[in-house]
Structure formats: structure tokens, C-alpha cells
Amino acid sequence: MKLLSLFILIITLISIKDAESQWTVFNLPYNGLAYELGFYNANSGVSIGHTLMTFQERIYFTTDSGFNWFASAFPSSIRALVNLQYINSQIIYTCGAENNSVFAQKPSGFSQFTYPMRQRFYIKGISEFFSEYKTAFLKSTNGGMNWFKVGTFDTTTGYMNDIHFFDELTGYSLIDTNPSTNPKFYKTINGGNSWQSLGKIDDSIYLDNMHFFNLNTGFACGATYNYNLPVQRGRIYKTTNGGLNWQKTEKSNVQGLTDIAFFNSTTGLAIGSSFPADFKCFRTTNSGISWDSVAFFPEVTFYNIKVVNGSGTAFMVGNRADTIFGFGNIATAKTTDFGTSWTLKTLNQTDLATGIAL
């Protein structure tokens, strides 16, 4: 894949008003993937990413809207980080995985899965060699300049795929339990120093992202994950009692749901891939009771969706499909009417685009 030999470019949103046409490209000084972005305000932000031949994390921070990026200090054992959350201008949390040895192998193929799932695993550094890594949870207390590990995790946990904190102390996390494919839902009340398992959400699934409105009500999305079934299906889960119980909605016409976002407590969007290289967007207007398909994007893969608070505006970022390299030019999509209609744009860059910051 050509992403192995390119500097992956970070795209950051400069102006909501002009977002369809105004993008600025920044280079980071390493070969690999800038996986996710987080910004506290228009000036201060953090990029998390990693190398790809052997998986080693790279963290950079900016204080001038991305015009200059500085390398952060963090434990060298970190394999890859995939999500981050600002608590305030100084305190930031991030999660992912830590290598168990100095040599981090290239992830194995997962040949039994369809291409969208294999690509998703590869991008995140998920391997069939589950003993390679364990959960990582990091904290910064100086705006992303320095990071340190919080909590301890054994090899029965794999990736911490997502976090949602309500304040500095109280938060939730999704952690896969290698290799059982029974992801568990965890809660902390002391800023991640210790985590309480609230139990598995379901059997034979892989969950990528979650969204919570409060301590009780939230959603998680992902895909069925079964070695004996060659076709995956999209899943959305909802809890109304803080993760003690979950109700599922299955979408058989997509091979997995990669992200979920909400405009308000009733209206939200979930995005996922359909075979072979197409994408669908689903919407709920009744707090997740039902999800309807509202958009279809042929030969496009979107990885991330973000909404503008207090509006009906949302953005997605991803790539056009390419039959040779697996991905083509960067693609963005914008809605201003809660997902009813979308404007699709194609950028000139052909770098893998997995994150967007508003």
C-alpha cells in the first residue's frame, strides 16, 4: 500500500463557513499515519498516529493552529493510540495499545474477513498475534507536551478502542478482550487509575466507537466478528443504564459501522461500509429506536464523522476507492440538514485520511 512510503498529511478544518473548499495541509516528520486529531480551541491541538511497518506511536502537539508541530514526550512502548479527549486546556486523555516487546510485528492478515474489516484492523495495528500488545491509557497534564501511563492492564485486554469522560475523574471505555471477540465496557471514577468491568456487551463483535449523552444513556457501534462467518454485519448498541444492559440493532446490508455521532438526544448518524468499496450513512430521529439509510456513497470509504454542536451540520472524511492501492484521493462530505442531503468533495491529496477536527 502506498501509505507506507508517504508522509501522511494532516487535514484540519480552518473555517466552518468555508469548510467545503478551504483546507490546509501540514506535514509531520515521520513515515506513517496521523490517525486522529483533537483540538481544544482554534490554536491548541494534538495529533496521534503511528508508524506502520513496525507499530510505534507518534504524538505531536501544536499551539498555533497547526502551522508548527512539536514532538511530545511519551513512553516508547506505546504501539498505537486511536482516540483522545480534552478535559480542559491542560488535561487530555488518550487510549490505544502498548507493545509487549521491543519488536512490534506487522499485523497479520485476517484473511477470513472482508476487505473493509481487514483494512480497519491494519490501520489500527490490530494483529492476529494477540500476545503482541495490551491496553494503553495515557494522560497529559500540560496540554499534550508530556504523556504518562495511567492504570495497569494485563495481556487479557487488547485495544482500548474508545473513551468517553464526563469530567477528569469519571469516564467509560471500550476494551476488546483478545482473542475472545467479546469487547467489554469499563468505568473509572478516579481518572483511569483503576477500571471496573461492567461486563461484555455481546459475543463475537468488534466495537469501534461510542457516544454518551450522560452517565446512563449511550451508543456503541461496530461489526459482527466471527472467524466462521466470512461476511460481517453492522451493529449499533444502546444502553440506558450506564452499560449494564445493551439493546442491539443490526444492519445486514453493511459490513461494519465505523463511527457514530449525534446532533442532539434524538437525532444521530452512523456510517459504515457496504461491499465492495461503497459507504452508507444511517440516521435515527427517535433516539436509536430505528435507523434509516439516508445516503449512499459509491466507491468512497469514510472513517470519521463529526458534528458541529448546536447545528444540523456534520462532516465526514475518508478516501475515494482505488482498485490498485486500496484508497485514492481524500474525500469529504458535508450536511447542513441533519444528514438528509450531503455535498461530496474530492481533494487533490491521495493520503489516507482517518480523522477530522472541528
Query: Phi and psi at residue 34, in whole multiples of 5°?
Result: -90, 95
Banded model confidence at residue 148, pLDDT cuts 50, 70, 90? very high
| pTM score | 0.89
pLDDT of 315: 94
Write the DSSP symbol of residue 173.
E
Q: Which residue has the cell 481518572?
A: 191
DSSP secondary structure of 185-243: EEEESSTTSS-EEEEES-SSEEEEEEEESSSS-EEEEEEE--TT-SS--EEEEEESSTT
Out of 10-24, 56-70, 269-283, 313-327, least confident range: 10-24
Tell me the mean pLDDT in the region 210-239: 86
Nearest to 304 by CA among 315, 313, 296, 312: 315
Across 142-169, average pLDDT: 92
pLDDT at 334 over 50: yes
CB-based contact 332:13 (threshold 8 Å): no
User: What span, in angstroms and rounded, lies between the C-alpha atoms of 250 and 341?
Assistant: 24
Dihedral sign for Cα atoms in the order 110, 115, 116, 119:
positive
pLDDT score at 108: 54
Looking at residues 310-328, what average pLDDT do you find? 80
Instruction: Determine the pLDDT at residue 181.
Output: 64
Sole residue written with cell 456534520: 314
Query: CB within 8 A of 158, min separation 6: which ones?
Result: 97, 126, 130, 133, 134, 135, 175, 176, 177, 178, 179
| Stretch 319-325: mean pLDDT | 68
Q: Which residues contact 152 (CB under 8 A, 6 or more apart)?
A: none
pLDDT value, residue 284: 97
Degrees to nearest 5, angle at CA 57 with 76 and 121: 130
| Residue extents of the structural domains in the chain | 2-346
pLDDT tens digits, residue range 228-271?
665 678 899 999 999 999 999 988 788 889 899 999 999 999 99
Q: Which residues contact 18 (CB under 8 A, 6 or more apart)?
A: none
Spatial separation of the C-alpha atoms in residues 82 and 207, rounded to whole Å: 13
pLDDT band for position 355 (50/70/90)?
Answer: confident
What pLDDT, in 10s, does the model give residues 61-118?
A: 999 988 899 999 999 999 999 999 999 999 999 999 998 876 555 555 566 666 666 7
Q: Which residue has the higher pLDDT, 269 or 273?
A: 269
The answer to whether the CB of 219 falls within 8 A of the CB of 211 is: yes
Percentage of the chain beyond pLDDT 70 is 84
Predicted local confidence at residue 278, as pLDDT: 83
Tell me which architecture the domain covering 2-346 has in CATH: 6 Propeller (2.120)
Determine the pLDDT at residue 124: 82
* pLDDT value at 6 more than 50: no
Question: Mean pLDDT across the chain, nearest whole number?
Answer: 84
Alpha helices in the chain (DSSP H): 115-124
Q: Would you say residue 210 has pLDDT above 60? A: yes
pLDDT of residue 58: 94
CA–CA dist 180, 348 (Å, integer): 41
**Beta-bridge mates of residue 11:** 25
Dihedral pair phi/psi, residue 197, rounded to 5°: -75, 125
For 15-59, how does the pLDDT look when each residue is reduced to its tens digit (9 = 90+)? 334 444 567 777 888 888 888 989 999 999 999 998 877 889 999
- Rounded to whole angstroms, the Cα distance separating 155 from 142 reads 30
**What pLDDT is stored for residue 252 in this prediction?**
77
Query: Per-residue pLDDT for 336 more than 90?
Result: yes
